[in-house]
Structure 1
Amino acid sequence: MSEHAADTHQHIRIRKASENNLRAVDTDIPKRRLTAFTGVSGSGKSSLVFGTIAAESQRLINETYSTFVQTFMPSLPRPDVEVLENLTAAIVVDQERLGANSRSTVGTATDAYSLLRMLFARYSTPSAGGPGAYSFNLGEGACPVCEGFGTEASIDLDELLFWDKTLNEGAINAPNFAPGAWLFQTLTAGTQVDLDVPLREMDPQMLDRLLYAEPGKVKLNGANMSYSGLVTRIKSSYIHSEREVKQKHIRDFVERISTTAPCSACSGSRLNDAARASKLHGHGIAELCSMQVSDLLAILRTIDEPGAVPLLEKLSLVLESMVHIGLGYISLDRPAATLSGGEAQRVKMVKHVGSALSDVTYVFDEPTVGLHPHDIQRMNQLLLSLRDKGNTVLVVEHKPEVVRIADHVIDLGPGAGVHGGTICYSGDVAGLLASGTRTGEHFTQRVPLKEQVRTGHNPIEIRGATEHNLRAVDVDIPRGVLCAITGVAGSGKSSLIHSTVAKQEGVAVVDQSPIRGSRRSNPATYTGIMDPIRAAFAKANGVKPALFSANSDGACPECKGAGVIYTDLVSMAGVAIRCERCEGRRFTDEVLEYQYQGLNIADVLNLSIERAAEALGIAKAKPMLERLNQVGLGYLKLGQPLSTLSGGERQRMKLAINLGQGADTYVLDEPTTGLHMADVDRLLKLLDEMVDEGKTLIVIEHHLAVVAHADWVIDLGPGAGHEGGTIVFEGTPHDLAAGNTLTGIHLAEYVAGA
């Protein structure tokens, strides 16, 4: 092989990539190196890395399956790229939640639980059997009562009953149980219940009969009728029923009163008696899984079992990796669905640390989300270790601390959406700093400590907060200022704010949680812009507004207005393929003939928010379009599916909506997620404007630019899990940087680089 031929195989070669907003991009990415992809939000980073490289790798792997297997798989479209050569198998480690499967835990997601099961199967006494005997996902190990879920459906009696009312006054807060109604009569028939005694004062035995009586028969008006206790009936009719509840008011009622409690048989461990009885050096498997990982690691190091050394070493490696990337405060029995996007991504990373695979392409989406600066260094070590095993590591990232360790940087831009999609720089980090690009210019920029801070007033008082790991915390949060809540991941920041301030009246919580909506939901529908747009089209064309709804009359009958056909796969992520009938335009041909200002409805939904604010003369849509621009989302298209938005984009969209609703206090959970250094400046200006208008802003944040710019800082710690949960600092950024907390030390280093 010639030297030139050998060299060409050392790069992933891309020519004329035009996926989404990419403008015929040509680039070469070095293999077996760590490459960082930078640029402002919406510049095309994800389109290049995920939409082109990872997508084509997945498509080509699918084509290696037999024809028979392929008939059960969707035909993935080829990305819009002319040349894509020298790919390896791509493993995507993104921030998608670990699914809603209630059987999945951190232990099962990292394989740590599989190793623990093996350990107990071989070395515990009395042994319950093989590894399957310790699995809550298998009949041989699962608790027979809760079937391995660890919880049982329960009913919140405080939601179901008005304790201070009598039955005649309507003490039962449930549909169809009004005084005198048929179900009310069957409930009370055959009893000597006093209908005019408040429930709180009722005889306990009588109350127990009314609530929990097993199904039976009772005479009512001379006929034998079925009856059950109130709770018994609700559980059998709605909660344990296989039938779908169709009436919305009943669904709302069930959601309101339903709660879950640990299984009474297994105390939430999910395991049967035999599995719970097994002990390894005095410890049960459920006990070990309930410990935070850093404590579990310490216990494993005390186990002296010569034959188990290889297993213990392998399990310890997984747990050490979790500690290294800031997950030491999490327990293995924590349900996977409760993890944040950043935590979920780090859990996925752990799985690959000890992997036997090499020479594959790992693709990461902002792996530092949710990480304190203290933990970023350890995350970097993990990324470098994957590279050093001979893998190609591609990282979409904004944090300079991560970009700095890259072997190669590809910077996209110069702007977002239609203003992006080109390669602004490709080379090493030193070259980036001298490149004159927005990333290069902002790379070493530091936000200075705020010297003239605002003075707060009338503080929000928190007393005795004990949620999760909080240790009876007392703290005052000043109103009328920008207050940053800081601390390492797991220190108790979110627990403190979300269990107290966030529940108060007049507080808008702007977080990164998924946005509820159908697959047809988009920024236009979610923010309410779509209503005045439909009205404008209807008025201009003399037809009804419903024609311009992708949920109604005008929707393409093939894709039901989604623009794509979804294929849900059991074992992997679902796939969306563009609808051939409407070519992704969502509406029928008839609807697309109607125009407003020279555009049809599909054209309007294809406009960026920024362009729509300039071009659409629809007065009622203008304020929201301007607010979306204000929070830095001008590059999003009006019709972009909400499912494609990142956590940070979802949060900024919620912020835009809340800005128009007049809340007094805002809680923002890591608002810098997904923001380029240049965009952080814009966010800080917006936050300042909000405080200057009299708002109180409470920002849970790791980004040191926000901490430096705050008026007041409350730092939790000193560590994570049970090593956290206390207030370690309250005061100004200037005083924080002069102190010795972890956040203070990193803040001092940050501003010293200014």
Structure 2
Amino acid sequence: MPNTPDASTTVTVLPDLHPGADGFVRVRGARENNLRDVNVDVPRDAIVAFTGVSGSGKSSLAFGTIFAEAQRRFFESVAPYARRLIQQGHTPHVDLITGLPPAVALQQRRGAPSSRSTVGTVTTLSNSMRMLYSRAGTYPEGSDLRLDSDSFSPNTAMGACPECHGLGISHTVTEALLVPDASLSIRDGAIAAWPGAWQGKNLRDITAVLGHDIDLPWSQLSREARDWLLYTEEQPVVEVTPQRDRVAKPYKGRFWSAKSFVMHTLADSKSAQMRNRVLEFVETGPCRLCGGSGLKADALAVLFAGRPINELNALPLSELAEVLRPTAELTGAAGSHRSAQSGEITEVAVTLAGDLVRRLAVLVDLGLGYLSLNRATPTLSPGEMQRLRIATQLRAGLFGVIYVLDEPSAGLHPADAEPLLVVLEQLKASGNSVFVVEHNMDVVRRADWLVDVGPRAGDGGGEVLYSGPVAGLAEVPTSVTRDYLFPVASGVVPAKRETDLWLGLAGVTRHNLVNLDVRVPLGVLTAVTGVSGSGKSTLVSRVLADAVGRELRQGPADPAPVDADTAEDDTPDDDTGATLVDGVTGAGAIDRLVRVDQKPIGRTPRSNLATYTGLFDAVRSTFAATDAARAAGFGAGRFSFNVAGGRCDTCLGEGFVAVELLFLPGSYAPCPACGGSRYNAETLAVLYRGKNVAEVLGLTVDAAAEFLADVPSASRSLETLREVGLGYLRLGQPATELSGGEAQRIKLATELQRARRGHTLYLLDEPTTGLHPADVELLMTQLGRLVDAGNTVVVVEHDMDVVASADWVIDLGPAGGTAGGRIVAEGTPATVAAHPHSRTAPYLRARLELAV
């Protein structure tokens, strides 16, 4: 199969003088992760697409090998002392790479960024805006004060509002929230912020010792007593003798007022469930001192173009560019004196405004003009974040660089992918190479070269099946990608499910959704579509989740219980926007709400596939039931690597130890005591069917399904994981090694293994992100199973294969930001595809035509 440059091309190779002078990056002996001693030649100065099913090894080749080696070589050129200050990557397992220029990686970020991270900080546009106000702003008349640029940032001590500490929001509590029923006594639960789960009983006993009547109706307590109980900052400690316990054991008890208890829990709790509970007793809104800007009054008093900095930061980027353009276009003498209109020092203003306008133009061209500088990054989709980073690189003006991009089209509507492709061509035209790991076949077709890795995932992948011009993949029968890159009409039009039950929301207002009425059919699969920023995620992940959650008195949460040993902070997205819904109808037909997202299933290597799905409980119980374990007195807890007893005492169950190499990248080595198994020798001596617990954790899901076939609780979990295409993952694979798509499918599999009880509403936001089309088919099969079991599935999606397979489509738009937030079309896929004003219609129509 082709794995070399076109034979018709004459190439002169000068290995001694100019390795790679023939225009190719040549990789020899790549063994990173599942790569099988791969040799491949990839052209420079071209757009190269790396394809293959999820887990095939394409990212290991593009990022883990090519980019990692380029990064390693760069760090070798850095002074040894400086290397210690830089977080260095790993050294790839590869024999040789020649013809390798410097590389820049733009990867999808899986973690949850800080709420203080914004579009402005990610693009560094905020730095220029602050400098513009500091050096060229109009200060109050008669003021001699000149502020440093940091004074215009809510993230610094110089600029942050003292009331809200720069967050722009404040939390307040009132008696009405803390005590919803004043006819109750304290003993009967009048102070609702003191439920039993929050040591409410102890607080009542402490209150009684302090001399308050806990049996008197709240309304009959004195105002002084009520205010003290609810708002005091005092925390007296008293000795309490329980009155109603079987064993009266005195203890020292500390009193917390209801306000102190609520605010402390809100600030310090790592539990999303606890935080959501606390928020029931809190009024959240813009800070009254700074009006929600997060800035001190001095900064807000400085104007540019007649506006304070918080107002310009809140404008859509396209509008911000227009506000700055008149200043940026000042020329000649006008640029060297004070503007009579605004008073800015225009020589400085012209320079800064001009730079801002040019950088904003790139973002607008990428379809991000609807965003604002103050938009928090946790509210952005992966595709939006990716385009922000691409725009920053485009303005950098680098030459001769390899850009390695991780699914640049992820999270993009097909209409938004068009300007992205233009930008990739611009990067290439500037003398750079563009390597993209991609599942979007429309993007792959536009590439100059294709490297297909496979044929399957995990141990079944790791081979380069083809490397050459895109059209050549049609001749590679072992490629799974081939059938999706060159599709043929199926002649099959899937039947659509119908329903008479609807979930209705009236008067929805949130972000760019304003007084929107929407209906969602129950018992079917609904796809919500629209260009980026049209309001899809707001409608599904926020409004539907909030509204239905309130009706069910349940907050949206991940479907699976996390193993107690590996419990992680599941802090919800930091989005303080308020949801207003005038009315909800049809929610009575829903018994349960589940949101399946792509957040990591854990943030440390201690959390893994086995612990998250719960099947590790079955594994530990199985080992604990063996004769050897019983004879040794080992319970199931003995076989957890997260608790003392069975784990290795040297590495504390990590399996590795950190090795500090000073001037070289930090490294990890297998623990010398346990050899990387995580367990001590006594625990490893217990065998089940000839394997110890560490060896079972090392099995792939496919292998474990056979090995644990006689363990029903584990077998059911494993079979479901295989059905969603995750058979290649190891049971003990750390959560930190999983992609967003893999994490989401693990969550879905965890939900699927539960009993089929129906009447559940499942919300999924872009579930196909990170998935090969073959994996999308598996996903759709499982979503179909959920619907057939009597459940409702709503997905936010850009993949036209998914939209075409849906029973109902809600298309939002017509554009992003303030130009979106409206329902453009709704109905069956065929109905939406025929709509004349829908931007989704032409792409959906093209997909439906393949079925006839």
CA–CA separation in structure 1 for the residues paired with 2:115 and 2:430: 34
Among 4, 17, 32, the residue aligned to 2:14: 4
Could you tell me how far apart the structure 2 residues matched to 1:75 and 1:576 are? 10
The residue type equivalent to 1:47 in the other structure is S
Q: Does 1:594 align with 2:689?
A: no
- Unpaired runs of 5+ residues, structure 2, are 1-10, 141-145, 241-252, 336-346, 553-590
Q: Deviations over 1:41-62 (max 9, x none)?
A: 1111111122222223333333
Deviation at 1:214, TM superposition (A): 6.0
Deviation at 1:620, TM superposition (A): 1.9
How does 1:214-253 map onto structure 2 within 5 Å? 230-231=257-258, 233-234=260-261
Q: Provide the rounded CA distance (Å) in 1 between the counterparts of 2:211 and 2:660.
A: 48
C-alpha change, 1:72 and 1:309, in structure 2 (3 Å) is closer
Structure 1 CA distance, aligned partners of 2:519 and 2:719? 35
Distance 1:253 1:691, change over 3 A: closer
Q: Is 1:622 the equivalent of 2:721?
A: no
The number of residue pairs the alignment matches comes to 739
Of the three residues 285, 288, 291, the one matched with 2:309 is 285
1:359 is aligned to 2:400: yes
Kept in 2, the 8 Å contact 1:448–1:708? The answer is no
* 2:766 maps to 1:670: yes
Q: CA offset at residue 33 of structure 1?
A: 2.1
Are the aligned partners of 1:450 and 1:734 in contact in 2 as well (CA < 8 Å)? no
1:605 maps to which residue?
697
Query: Deviation of residue 108 (structure 1)?
Result: 1.1
Residues 26-65 of structure 1: pairs in structure 2 closer than 5 A: 26-65=39-78
Mapped contact 2:50–2:437 kept (Cα < 8 A)? yes
Alpha-carbon distance in 2 for matches of 1:637, 1:219? 53
- C-alpha displacement at 1:603, in angstroms? 2.4
Please report how far the alpha carbon of residue 609 of structure 1 lies from its aligned counterpart in structure 2 after TM superposition. 0.9
Q: Would the alpha carbon gap of residues 21 and 473 (structure 1) be closer, same or farther in structure 2, given more than 3 Å must change?
A: same
* Aligned-residue offset at 1:213: 4.9
TM-superposed CA distance for 1:653, in Å, is 0.8
| Aligned equivalent of 1:143, options 150, 161, 186 | 161
The equivalent of 1:95 in structure 2 is 108
SS of 1:639 mapped into structure 2: coil
> 1:322: how far off?
2.6
Distance 1:216 1:439, change over 3 A: closer
Instruction: Label 1:230 to 1:129 Cα distance change in 2 as closer, same or farther (>3 A).
Output: same
Contact map agreement 1:532 1:620 (CA 8 A) in 2: yes
Contact 1:453-1:711 at 8 Å conserved across structures = yes
Counterpart for residue 502 of structure 2: 459
Q: Which amino acid aligns with 2:363?
A: M
Change (3 A) 1:283 1:197: same
Range moving further from structure 2, 669-678 or 16-25: 669-678
Q: Which amino acid aligns with 1:737?
A: A
- Given that residues 187 and 210 in structure 1 are in contact (C-alpha distance below 8 angstroms), is that contact kept between their aligned partners in structure 2? no
Distance 2:471 2:382 in 1: 32
1:538 and 2:624 matched: yes
Q: Name the structure 2 match of 1:683.
A: 779
Q: Contact conserved, 2:56 with 2:456, CA < 8 A, in 1? A: yes
1:324 and 1:575 map into 2 onto residues whose CA distance is: 40
Q: Take 1:117 and 1:344, find their aligned partners in 2: how far apart are those partners?
A: 22
| Residue 753 of structure 2: aligned partner | 660
Contact 1:170 / 1:179 at 8 angstroms: preserved in 2? no
Report the equivalent of 2:847: 750
The reply to whether residue 710 of structure 1 matches residue 806 of structure 2 is yes
In 1, Cα distance between the equivalents of 2:277 and 2:834? Answer: 53
| In structure 2, C-alpha distance between the alignment counterparts of 1:693 and 1:253, rounded to whole Å | 31
Give the alignment partner of residue 719 of structure 1, picking from 787, 791, 815.
815
Alignment check: 8 A CA contact 1:563 1:586 kept: yes
Residue-by-residue CA offset, 1:277-305 (whole Å, 9 max, x unaligned): 11111121101111232332333335465
| 1:77-111 superposed Cα distances (whole Å, 9 cap, x missing partner) | 53221112333333221121575434322211111
CA distance in 2, matches of 1:526, 1:227: 36
What is the alpha-carbon distance in structure 1 between the residues aligned to residue 612 and residue 111 of structure 2? 25
What is the SS of the residue equivalent to 1:371?
A: coil
CA distance in 2, matches of 1:150, 1:566: 40
User: 2:189 corresponds to which letter in structure 1?
Assistant: G
Per the alignment, in what secondary structure is the counterpart of residue 510 of structure 2?
coil
Partner deviation per Cα, 1:213-256 (whole Å, 9 max, x = no partner):
565999999xxxx999935543786667xxx8899999997687
Per the TM alignment, residue 416 of structure 1 is displaced from its structure 2 partner at its CA by: 1.0
What secondary structure sits across from 2:625 in the alignment? helix
Q: Does 1:110 align with 2:123?
A: yes
- For 2:743, the equivalent position in structure 1 comes to 650
What code does the residue aligned with 1:91 have? V
* Residue in 2 that maps onto 1:336: 377
Is 1:396 the counterpart of 2:437? The answer is yes
Contact 1:559–1:579, Cα closer than 8 Å, also in 2: no
Alpha-carbon distance, 1:566 to partner: 6.2
Deviation at residue 602 of structure 1 after TM alignment: 2.5
Correspondence for 2:244: none
Pick from 511, 528, 533 the counterpart of residue 468 of structure 1: 511
- The answer to whether structure 1 residue 440 and structure 2 residue 482 are counterparts is yes
Is residue 524 of structure 1 aligned with residue 551 of structure 2?
no
Equivalence for 2:230: 211
Asked if the contact 1:153–1:239 (Cα under 8 Å) also holds between the matched residues in 2, the reply is no
- The answer to whether the Cα contact below 8 Å between 1:74 and 1:567 also exists between their aligned partners in 2 is no
Tell me what 2:319 maps to: 295
Residues in 2 aligned to 1:747 and 1:216: alpha-carbon distance in whole angstroms: 63
Q: Check the 8 A contact 1:448/1:709 in 2, yes or no.
A: no
Aligned pair partner of 1:119 in 128, 132, 152: 132
CA-based RMSD: 3.6
1:390-424 CA-partner distances (Å, limit 9, x unpaired): 22221110101211221211000011111111001
Question: Residues 297 and 447 from structure 1, CA distance in 2 versus in 1: closer, same or farther, beyond 3 angstroms?
Answer: farther
Residue 419 to residue 233, structure 1, CA distance change in 2 (3 Å): closer
Moved more, 738-747 or 347-356: 347-356
Q: 1:112 to 1:98 in 2, by over 3 A?
A: farther
Q: What amino acid is aligned across from residue 108 of structure 1 in structure 2?
A: T
Give ranges in structure 1 of 5+ residues lacking alignment. Answer: none
Q: Which residue of 2 aligns with 1:734?
A: 830
Aligned ranges for residues 153-192 of structure 1 at < 5 Å?
153-155=171-173, 160-168=178-186, 169-172=188-191, 173-174=193-194, 175=198, 181=204, 183-184=206-207
TM-score (norm 1): 0.88
What SS does the aligned partner of 1:471 have?
strand
Amino acid at match of 1:626: E
Query: Matches of 1:705 and 1:442 in 2, distance apart?
Result: 11
Corresponding residue for residue 250 of structure 2? none
Percent pairwise identity: 39
Counterpart contact for 2:69–2:92, Cα < 8 Å: yes
Aligned equivalents of 1:263, 1:619: Cα separation in 2: 54
Q: Is the 8 A contact 1:45 1:396 kept in 2?
A: yes
Q: Deviations over 1:473-528 (max 9, x none)?
A: 22221122221111112211122223444325412221112324643111111101
Match of 2:338 in 1: none
Secondary structure of the structure 1 residue equivalent to 2:34: coil
Higher mean C-alpha displacement, 141-150 vs 525-534: 141-150
CA distance in 2, matches of 1:60, 1:315: 34
Cα–Cα, structure 1 residues 703 and 350, in superposed 2: closer, same or farther, change >3 Å? Answer: same
- C-alpha change, 1:326 and 1:647, in structure 2 (3 Å) is farther
Contact 2:409 2:417 in 1 (8 A): yes
Report the CA distance between 1:706 and its aligned residue: 0.9
User: Contact conserved, 1:157 with 1:257, CA < 8 A, in 2?
Assistant: no
CA contact (8 A) 1:447 1:705 kept: no
Distance 1:2 1:456, change over 3 A: closer
Q: Which moved more, 1:209-218 or 1:396-405?
A: 209-218
